């Protein structure tokens, strides 16, 4: 199961600083989603060979020790989603009444709680420690979020067990090339399933996922399956068309369940992430009338991190004037530049318009992601790309790219060996990725490049 760490603590103890540290591998990606992720609360990270999802509950509490103000409904929802709770306190100020109130709340959640003492760079650890033990949450973990010290130990303590096989942590600063450390996470070969291509329909509540799945199967099965009170979070619908088998995964159950119990989070990123990870292809459903919202951006970030083949379905295309449609297209072009590898379909789930093309698009994405390409072919292409456009000089020497081979399939990953590759500008990486994409006719799958340097 995905370890999901919720960061809880009074304002200013350093939650967002820690969040950024723990999800650093995604920083470049996030920085390149203009205006989409300002209030990002969820992020994937990898440290000490462990993968995890971090939820920052920050920005919600007030500067007070009153528990109601500190812990809004959002924070509680995040805590319910989490598998591990991290209570962050400020080592400089010592334990306050607010910290004590939070500790008491966390203790009764029935989940492992860890006490994290931050800002130990500015305080003597001993004094901070003695205070922290008072909270009765076991041995405190000392960190400095700004310096990044103590973080690996923290993760190793929270997520014990052997580190998973790290497949190099080369990083690119280019979202269109995908995040190579994310690539390494998802890069296990995935056997093609006998039950059929698993397509997850992911999107915010009300964008039309259930309507779309119903439309695809031509009957109201999803609704029938989705009785109120059911505890199922997603609904699998086996389905066959033109001799091919599918499992359509409707993630809308998340919302329906929320109607039954209003206290339950209305939109579960964790459930969406599970659906994304289990799917062969993700169909991201957007509402044409709403554009790309913050929640959409979260989902896109998760799908990109998972390296999942992707199709974008812009739903509710009916009833829009030509001008409105042009506006929507422009808006999407602007906000989804980093998704230009994915096919974009404008559909009406309600009327069925355009829906028929989605399955074919899902196949193209799935096939692209599974493409086998010989080392010889990848090397030929590398030679051609380098000849057409040399890598720049660095420290007076030409950056050299020597050979390439296939690294994995989720996302489609090409490993390139050379020297000084860590100095390749993002622009050049994008050039290589786009060159490969075009030559190999890859659609719907991110292309990740991993660089290995020989000197």
Does the annotation place 444 within a ligand binding site?
no
For residues 246 and 376, give the distance between their C-alpha atoms in angstroms, rounded to a whole number.
34
Cβ nearer to ligand GDP, comparing 17 with 37: 17
Q: Is residue 15 part of the contact set for ligand GDP (CB under 6 A)?
A: yes
Q: How far is the CB of 355 from ligand GDP (least distance, A)?
A: 9
Q: Which DSSP helix (H) or strand (E) runs through 386? A: helix 375-388
User: Quick one: which of 236, 294, 318, 367 contacts ligand GDP (CB under 6 A)?
Assistant: 318
Tokens 């000490």, residue located: 48
Q: Is 218 left (phi over 0), alpha (psi -120 to 50) or beta?
A: left
Does the annotation place 317 within a ligand binding site?
yes
Does the annotation place 194 within a ligand binding site?
no
Cβ nearer to ligand GDP, comparing 103 with 170: 103
Q: Which DSSP helix (H) or strand (E) runs through 7? A: strand 4-8
Residues 51-90 that bind ligand GDP (CB under 6 A): 58
For residues 54 and 334, give the distance between their C-alpha atoms in angstroms, rounded to a whole number.
28
Does the annotation place 119 within a ligand binding site?
yes
Residues 175-204 that bind ligand GDP (CB under 6 A): 203
Residue 168, class by beta-carbon neighbours within 10 Å (0-12 exposed, 13-18 middle, 19+ buried)?
middle
For residues 150 and 144, give the distance between their C-alpha atoms in angstroms, rounded to a whole number.
7
Q: How far is the CB of 74 from ligand GDP (least distance, A)?
A: 14
Cβ nearer to ligand GDP, comparing 119 with 363: 119
Question: For residues 165 and 435, is the Cβ–Cβ distance under 8 A?
Answer: no
User: Quick one: which of 198, 255, 298, 345 contacts ligand GDP (CB under 6 A)?
Assistant: 255
Q: Is residue 220 part of the contact set for ligand GDP (CB under 6 A)?
A: no
Residue 175, class by beta-carbon neighbours within 10 Å (0-12 exposed, 13-18 middle, 19+ buried)?
buried
For residues 366 and 368, give the distance between their C-alpha atoms in angstroms, rounded to a whole number.
5
Q: How far is the CB of 210 from ligand GDP (least distance, A)?
A: 3
Cβ nearer to ligand GDP, comparing 113 with 369: 113
For residues 346 and 338, give the distance between their C-alpha atoms in angstroms, rounded to a whole number.
18
For residues 77 and 87, give the distance between their C-alpha atoms in angstroms, rounded to a whole number.
15
Cβ nearer to ligand GDP, comparing 17 with 187: 17
User: Quick one: which of 5, 6, 8, 9 contacts ligand GDP (CB under 6 A)?
Assistant: 9
Q: Is residue 12 part of the contact set for ligand GDP (CB under 6 A)?
A: yes
Cβ nearer to ligand GDP, comparing 144 with 172: 144
Tokens linked to 69: 């103000």
* 3-state DSSP assignment of residue 268: coil
Q: Is residue 349 part of the contact set for ligand GDP (CB under 6 A)?
A: yes
Residue 374, class by beta-carbon neighbours within 10 Å (0-12 exposed, 13-18 middle, 19+ buried)?
exposed
For residues 164 and 31, give the distance between their C-alpha atoms in angstroms, rounded to a whole number.
27
Q: Is residue 209 part of the contact set for ligand GDP (CB under 6 A)?
A: yes
Question: For residues 323 and 355, is the Cβ–Cβ distance under 8 A?
Answer: no
Residues 133-152 that bind ligand GDP (CB under 6 A): 144-146
> Buried b / exposed e across 115-137, counting CB within 10 Å, b at 16+?
bbbbbbbebeeeebbebbeebeb
* C-alpha of 18 from chain center: 18
Which of 10-18, 71-79, 173-181, 266-274 is the region at the interface with ligand GDP (rule: CB under 6 A)?
10-18
Does the annotation place 180 within a ligand binding site?
no
Strand runs labelled E in 298-399: 310-315, 343-346, 393-394, 397-398
Q: Is residue 206 part of the contact set for ligand GDP (CB under 6 A)?
A: yes
Residues contacting residue 227 through CB under 8 Å, at least 6 positions apart = none
Q: How far is the CB of 213 from ligand GDP (least distance, A)?
A: 8
User: Quick one: which of 118, 176, 181, 234 contacts ligand GDP (CB under 6 A)?
Assistant: 118
Q: Is residue 283 part of the contact set for ligand GDP (CB under 6 A)?
A: no
Q: How far is the CB of 326 from ligand GDP (least distance, A)?
A: 18
Size of the site for ligand GDP (CB under 6 A): 33
Cβ nearer to ligand GDP, comparing 90 with 366: 90
Does the annotation place 252 within a ligand binding site?
yes
Residues 356-385 that bind ligand GDP (CB under 6 A): none
Does the annotation place 223 within a ligand binding site?
no
User: Quick one: which of 350, 406, 439, 440 contacts ligand GDP (CB under 6 A)?
Assistant: 350
The angle at the Cα of 292, spanning 334 to 271, to the nearest 5 degrees, equals 135
Q: How far is the CB of 255 from ligand GDP (least distance, A)?
A: 5
Q: Is residue 315 part of the contact set for ligand GDP (CB under 6 A)?
A: yes
Q: How far is the CB of 118 from ligand GDP (least distance, A)?
A: 5
* 3-state DSSP assignment of residue 404: strand
Instruction: List interacting residues with ligand GDP (CB under 6 A).
Output: 9, 11-17, 58, 118-119, 121-122, 144-146, 203, 205-211, 252, 255, 315-316, 318-319, 348-350
For the annotated binding site for GTP, the residues are: 9-16, 56-60, 118-121, 203-210, 250-254, 315-318
């Amino acid at each position: 199961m995905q370890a999901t760490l919720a960061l809880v603590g009074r304002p200013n103890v350093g939650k967002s600083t820690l969040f950024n540290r723990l999800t650093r591998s995604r920083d470049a990606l996030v920085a390149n989603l203009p205006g989409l992720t300002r209030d990002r609360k969820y992020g994937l990270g990898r440290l000490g060979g462990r993968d995890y999802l971090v939820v920052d509950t920050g920005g919600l509490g007030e500067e007070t020790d009153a528990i109601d103000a500190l812990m809004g409904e959002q924070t509680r929802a995040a805590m319910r989603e989490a598998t591990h709770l991290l209570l962050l306190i400020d080592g400089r100020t010592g334990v306050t009444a607010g910290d004590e109130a939070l500790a008491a709340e966390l203790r009764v959640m029935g989940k492992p709680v860890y006490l994290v003492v931050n800002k130990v760079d500015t305080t003597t650890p001993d004094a901070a420690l003695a205070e922290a033990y008072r909270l009765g949450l076991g041995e405190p973990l000392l960190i400095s979020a700004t310096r990044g010290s103590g973080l690996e130990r923290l993760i190793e303590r929270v997520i014990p067990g052997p580190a998973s096989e790290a497949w190099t942590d080369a990083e690119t600063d280019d979202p269109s090339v995908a995040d190579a450390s994310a690539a390494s996470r998802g890069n296990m070969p995935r056997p093609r399933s006998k039950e059929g291509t698993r397509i997850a329909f992911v999107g915010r509540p009300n964008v039309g996922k259930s309507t779309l799945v119903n439309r695809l199967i031509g009957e109201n099965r999803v609704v029938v399956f989705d009785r109120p009170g059911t505890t199922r979070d997603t609904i699998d619908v086996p389905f066959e068309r033109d001799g091919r088998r599918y499992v359509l995964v409707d993630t809308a159950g998340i919302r329906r369940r929320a109607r039954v119990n209003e206290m339950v989070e209305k939109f579960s990123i964790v459930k969406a992430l599970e659906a994304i990870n289990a799917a062969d292809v993700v169909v991201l459903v957007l509402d044409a009338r709403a554009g790309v919202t913050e929640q959409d951006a979260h989902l896109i970030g998760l799908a990109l991190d998972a390296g999942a083949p992707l199709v974008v379905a812009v739903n509710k295309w009916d009833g829009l004037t030509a001008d409105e449609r042009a506006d929507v297209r422009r808006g999407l072009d602007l906000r989804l530049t980093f998704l230009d590898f994915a096919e974009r379909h404008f559909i009406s789930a309600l009327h069925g318009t355009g829906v028929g093309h989605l399955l074919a698009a899902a196949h193209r994405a799935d096939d692209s992601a599974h493409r086998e390409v010989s080392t010889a072919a990848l090397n030929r292409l590398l030679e051609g790309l380098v000849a057409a456009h040399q890598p720049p000089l660095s420290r007076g020497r030409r950056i050299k790219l020597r050979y390439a081979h296939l690294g994995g399939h989720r996302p489609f990953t090409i490993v390139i060996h050379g020297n000084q590759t860590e100095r390749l500008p993002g622009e050049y990486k994008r050039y290589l990725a786009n060159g490969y994409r075009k030559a190999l006719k890859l659609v719907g799958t991110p292309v990740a490049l991993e660089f290995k340097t020989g000197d």
